[in-house]
Structure 1
Amino acid sequence: MEKMLNNWGIDKQRVHVILRDNAANMKKAMRDMGVPSVGCVAHSFQLCVHEGLLSQRSVTETLANARKIVGHFKHSPLAYSRLEDIQINLNMDIKRLQQDVQTRWNSSLYMLQSLLQQKRALSVFAAERTLPATLTAHQWELMNKTADVLSPFEELTRDVSRETATAADVIPAITVLRRVLSREDDDDQGIKTMKRTLLEAVEKRFADVETEPLFYIATLLDPRYKDGQVYFFTKSANLLLAKEHLIQEVAKTEGRRAVSAVPEENEAAAEPVSKAPRHEACSSLDMAFEEILQERQSQGRSVSTTSAETQVQTYLSEKNTLKKSDPLQYWKEHANMFPSMAAVATQYLSAPSSSVDSERLFSAVANVLDENRNRLKPRAGYRVRYFLGTDRIALILSSIEK
């Protein structure tokens, strides 16, 4: 990592945060390197589901049977053809079963959902032909309940894996997930143990999420969540710590901005001016009273001259924006109103909450920069332009060639 930073000419002090997985060696590597780092939220969800739910024996046995059934249709075109015929006869949509990948828990959810959708067709198929595994009535019910429990995890995983997701989405997502798992409904018969086990895994994996500066400062700086700040933080002490830390960060930014902005001729005006006492002759009590008044006035002047706290309080008192709005666009529009806070926001809201989007980027590049495309010739663009004779197509192809 240090060699990579040196090759790109990036000072280690400029590294705001490094997003990593939750392996112990990665944590130690970032700690020894001396850079701040946080774990990928999507990876933490993966660990929570595996520890809290997929490690249960009844669930693992059901998933194993479901995996065998899906694998049978994946490896037998004849079986898939017969299943499609059954779907047509039952007036069902023709859909293929999805195979799961054990390293992605949401793929297991998609496999369960695809099996539940094709339950009628699979029952007809099993009556005519032999399957490598059978699902009992209890296992079908367990699959349905497992899918219901995992649905909130899947929705939150998609939210934190979006391209526009930031570190500000972590604390609200965990708070919402805790409330959903701790809520008891009438339909929870048979899945209470699942929800309790998952809740314990979430509490274990995200125990320190509200004390991580990157997460709590980013949450306060997101205009979508600041109105519900009291409810997103489970402890008032954590919220107080977040506000104090935010004010300190804004004050530091304001101090750096003000160092070069103070003119030299005003230095004399900034010096304290001694005031004459109100009375020529004062008793000791009067003198103490005057001292208290002067201390109070000096405190009032210091608060009024420092706009960090004023900016934070004014910003937090405003109405929050819509959930689907862009927080970066908000700070772009309010940069003149909160200049120092906007600078802090661009720093803390730049960090993503998961590494999924970067993995998608590498996958997209792998599809473009592939050995199968190494025989493309630059003259192909001229042949297309000759046959089409369109300036627009020629302009696009010229851009691609460049």
Structure 2
Amino acid sequence: MSAVWQYYTLDDATSKTATCKICNDNISRGGTSVANFNTSNLIKHLKTRHAKEHDKFTGAKRKNKDEPQQQTLEAAFQRRDKFPRDSPKATKITDKIVEFIVLDDQPLSVVGNVGFRRLMEHLEPRYCLPGRKYISDTALPKLYEAVREHISCMLKDVQAVSFTTDIWTSDVCLMSLLSLTSHWVDRESTFTPRSAVLHASEFRGSHTGAFIAEAIEGMLLQWKIPKSNVHVVLRDNANNMKKAMDEMDVPSLGCFAHTLQLVVHEGLLSQRSVSDALANGRKIVAHFKHSSLATARLEDLQKDLKMPTKRLHQDVATRWNSTYYMVESLLEQKRSISAYGADYDLPATLTANQWALLEKTITVLAPFEELTRQMSSSTSSAAEVIPSVTVLKRLLARENEEDTGIKTMKTTLLEAVQKRFKTIENEPLYTVATLLDPRFKDRYFTGADSIKHAKGALTREVEKMEALLSSRTTAEGAEAVPGNPSKAPRMEAQPDSSSRKSSLKGLFEEILQAHDEERGPSSTSSTQVQIQTYLTEQTIPRSDSPFQYWGVNQIRFPTLASTAAKFLCSPCTSVDSERLFSVASNIVNARRNRLGGERAEMLIFLKKNLPLLLKL
């Protein structure tokens, strides 16, 4: 409402005149109907007859921020003009659109979709949305180079890098990708473990060891990483991968999770009675997976029985833990499945003996599932392999009253574990990493000879590191971290997000308590003194971080800390590569099955590494 009305009154809303409060004159409202009324005559009357009040009115009008201001002609034309493509505003918006495409797995063609274009037109009418070709050929490579440069800077002064690698073949097009993911410890930020995808390159031709070795060497060359800086390469147990690492002459280790897969299949799932029970269970799950009617009936039964409404888990042949989850879901829904079988046909049924066998199978496999979950986390390292195997052997060898009917299963699995992991305590990549993990040290080796060989390997590695550090011009003192170096760090134990009861609870602590090392004669060499001092100190809780420990204690044990940075950067599984290919399957999908290898690599690279630049 105009401020002029503070000087006038109306008899009613339809009155053709307004009465001036100052002089009581009746002033025309400038029209014959309500639709035509205006305030021009009222303002003119104030201006000619009441100058003082008119000045107050115009001042109030200028101060009223809620009063809509008419746009100037120049401003109106500027609002109609589009931003130049290279303007800062347009460039910023384009960058955000590319980030949106990368982070949310959107197709490059999204910039041509009607809904998206209408949204951008509404948000910023002056922005000219580029086409798919500009995003693909200009904007995406620009972001790729920026992220690549950022990772190059992060890797610049790193002396030891571990890698995981694997090959993936798409289900929707004839494309294979060879991945290379780097892992290292960033000592500039208090011993923080880092990882970055370097490549997910299209891999053409035969998947032989020679071709794989040639491709990986080319990747290292592109990143200017000498093979002398390669600490270890984590791979699967395929022969072509083993041969490739031998061709490259770099240290390599098999994936711990893949070896556990072989242990379970060889030790348990290959037994005829177990296989038959699993086959029947698999048929039951498939019945509900392929029939919406059967699924609806099962859900109704679950509600009638006051059970949680859950669907059965389908297993995957290449992942034994998926078989564990399938059996677990079957046992959980045993009542509803039995009720379903009483009223409707099932392709297979489980006998009472088979149900009991599945329950025993779950009991035996529980510690394997728990270890697989723990070792597949992003923070697990090669240092955890020897302690985990030691605990697993002790658990399988222990007899108790609950083992009735499953002793044979446990014995078979124990033999498989001993067979598959019989050489791990002779592998320096494992033994030295275990010694340098302050949670384990030398407490989990199974014999005096193993401890002796492990300490010998550690001594050699520390001496090599000491020689390397002495030849470098950078002073170790510059890397010291403030804090009290005499105390090991304590971290708040994080609650386990899983509701599963731990099958390994107490075994790690039990081994620590039972450990009673026979001390040899003390040595006077600086290397031996540093090692002995470290090993004789108490281990830190298993829930604490070894990286935080070394970040605090590197000033006390400078050479040991540098060696720890080298050996603890190695993961124990190639799960990172498998997770990478889950991203790849979301990018190279049915909607984008014609995506080229170069563009696919850029999208995968950015999807995994862009958070490092954006600090998400």
Normalising by the smaller structure, the TM-score range is 0.7 to 0.9
Tell me if 1:245 matches 2:457. yes
**What letter corresponds to residue 350 of structure 1 in structure 2?**
C
Is 1:336 aligned with 2:336? no
5+ residue gaps, structure 1: 262-299, 375-398
Which position in structure 2 is the counterpart of 1:170? 385
SS, match of residue 253 in structure 2: strand
Equivalent in 270, 288, 302 of residue 73 of structure 1: 288
CA distance in structure 2 between the aligned counterparts of 1:361 and 1:329, rounded to whole angstroms: 27
Partner of 1:383: none
- For 1:169-188, list aligned pairs within 5 A: 169-188=384-403
Task: Report if the CA contact (8 A) 1:162-1:357 is conserved.
Answer: no
3-state SS of paired residue (1:44) = helix
The corresponding residue for 1:233 is 445
Query: What's the Cα RMSD here?
Result: 2.0
Residue 159 (structure 1) aligned with residue 378 (structure 2) = no
Match of 2:262 in 1: 47
Q: Does 1:21 align with 2:236?
A: yes
Shift of 1:333: 0.9
Distance 1:364 1:29 in 2: 25
Matched, 1:214 2:429: yes
2:468 is aligned to 256
What are the superposed Cα offsets for residues 99-121 of structure 1, whole Å, 9 maximum, x if unpaired? 11111000101010100001111
Query: Equivalences for 1:44-193 in 2 at 5 Å?
Result: 44-193=259-408
How far off its partner does 1:8 sit?
A: 2.5
Aligned to 1:310: 529
Is the radius of gyration larger for structure 1 or structure 2? 2
User: Given the two structures, how large is their TM-score scaled by the length of structure 1?
Assistant: 0.79
Shift of 1:339: 0.4
Task: State the distance in 2 between where 1:203 and 1:373 align.
Answer: 46
Query: SS where residue 17 of structure 1 aligns?
Result: strand
Percent identical pairs in the alignment equals 55
Aligned to 2:108: none
Give the structure with the higher percent helix: 1
CA distance in 2, matches of 1:331, 1:240: 24
**Shift of the alpha carbon at 1:358?**
3.1
Higher relative strand content: 2
Opposite residue 352 of structure 2, the aligned amino acid is A
Kindly state the Cα deviation for residue 371 of structure 1 after the two structures are TM-superposed.
7.8
Deviation at 1:253, TM superposition (A): 1.5
Inter-partner Cα distance in structure 1 for 2:375 and 2:299:
36
**How far off its partner does 1:189 sit?**
1.6
Q: TM-score, normalised by structure 2?
A: 0.52
Structure 2 gaps of 5+ residues are 1-215, 474-520, 594-612
In structure 2, distance between residues paired with 1:371 and 1:53: 38
Give 1:191 deviation, angstroms: 1.1
Q: Deviations over 1:267-323 (max 9, x none)?
A: xxxxxxxxxxxxxxxxxxxxxxxxxxxxxxxxx9xx64x421111111111111111
The answer as to whether partners of 1:19 and 1:38 remain within 8 angstroms in 2 is yes
Match of 1:16, SS state, is strand
Shift of 1:373: 8.6
- Structure 2 equivalent of residue 266 of structure 1: none
Residues of 2 paired with 1:244 and 1:132: CA distance?
Answer: 60
Moved over 4 A (4+): 368-374
Aligned to 1:10: 225
The offset of 1:366, in angstroms, is 4.7
Which amino acid is the alignment partner of residue 308 of structure 1? T
The amino acid of 2:241's aligned partner reads M
Shift of 1:260: 6.1
Aligned mates of 1:225, 1:178 — CA distance in 2: 17
How many pairs align? 332
**How far does residue 367 in structure 1 lie from its aligned partner after superposition?**
3.4
